[in-house]
Amino acid sequence: MIPPFDDSGWLPPGVHGATLAEIEDRFGRQSELRRIQMESVRWMVELAVRAGVQRIVLNGSFVTDIMEPNDVDCVLLIGAGSRKDRAAEDELLKGLPFLDVLLVGPKDFDYFVNRFFAFDRVRQAKGMVEVMQ
DSSP calls for 30-98: SSHHHHHHHHHHHHHHHHHHHHT--EEEEESGGGSS-SS-S-EEEEEE--TT----HHHHHHHHH--TT
Name the residue ranges covered by the structural domains of the chain: 14-131
Mean pLDDT, the chain, whole residue set: 94
Residue 4 pLDDT > 70, yes or no? yes
What pLDDT is stored for residue 81 in this prediction? 66
At 12-43, the pLDDT tens digits run 999 999 999 999 999 999 999 999 999 999 99
Domain 14-131 sits in CATH 3.30.460: yes
Residue 97 pLDDT > 90, yes or no? yes
High-pLDDT (> 90) share of the chain, %: 89
H or E element: which one contains 23? helix 20-27
What pLDDT is stored for residue 82 in this prediction? 57
At 84-94, the pLDDT tens digits run 888 999 999 99
- Residues 8 and 123 sit within 8 Å (Cβ to Cβ): no
